[in-house]
Structure 1
């Protein structure tokens, strides 16, 4: 009986609270308005880790290393719209502070930081794309030569075959 109690206590002290209750990877819903925008995701090191088309749900790591939360840059593109860049940052998981009661210093200073379970990511990232004004203003105007002011007529260039 004593051996079982010691083993159970050792497991409890050797694990972190976030490692027990949370995870180090999270599902993140990626979306845009309008939808069907292509996107790619770079981590804090500048490495492209995912790409796709909205809407999509992906699994991303919340940690970038020991005591280092991950920060992602999401770049959205759609024809006729301006490129949109948003930042997705991890934050400390509330369960990490459960180590004060359950995981102790080992969980707080070693286990949860090493496993990445001390961090969490938002559930979704949404980009609001705006129309590209320059592309939408392209147009062709046909006018009679006598309706154009003389100053502008002097700037016209004849088209030849």
Structure 2
């Protein structure tokens, strides 16, 4: 025969098992992302999938972003980097399925797998870092962004004489 104390413990254990998901217990629904650039000191804006700016700052920095965007929908972000004298860069951050989500088969059950983890976003994870390689410094600010192509017929005779055939 069970005592009220044992019944209460059993009820608490059962409700904990049924109302939790494995990824929400072990994982998280928000992740710190190390944002950096080469060279450092670039300004950046983090935009969600709707184009709304959710964070901005100067590299290096750490931002905390949600991994889920809705029921069974992982978050996607775009980080735009800008630095005077360098070409602008964009980096995409996509969430991916967390390995802990599959722990629901053992620990969280169907409620964790189909309700808790998808609603909280804990079934997804984000990369630990985002880095932009700003490339070579542009000479004169915007110099190097325009390219003009000419045929040999458009060159003056003096420049044609200086050409070297390579094939």
Question: Normalized against structure 1, the TM-score is what?
Answer: 0.81
Matches of 1:133 and 1:7, distance apart in 2: 64
Cα distance, 1:9 vs. partner?
Answer: 1.4
Partner of 1:56: 61
Which stretches in structure 1 are left out of the alignment for 5+ residues? 139-150, 152-161
CA contact (8 A) 2:85 2:142 kept: no
Partner of 1:135: 140
Q: Which residue of 89, 94, 105 corresponds with 2:94?
A: 89
Superposed, which structure 2 residues align to 1:7-156 within 5 Å? 7-131=12-136, 133=138, 135=140
Which stretches in structure 2 are left out of the alignment for 5+ residues? 1-5, 144-157, 159-167
Shift in CA distance, 79/104, structure 1 to aligned 2, threshold 3 Å: same
**RMSD of aligned Cα (Å):** 1.7
Matches of 2:15 and 2:142, distance apart in 1: 69
Matches of 2:25 and 2:141, distance apart in 1: 53
* 1:57 partner SS: strand
Matched pairs, number: 139
Shift in CA distance, 119/137, structure 1 to aligned 2, threshold 3 Å: closer
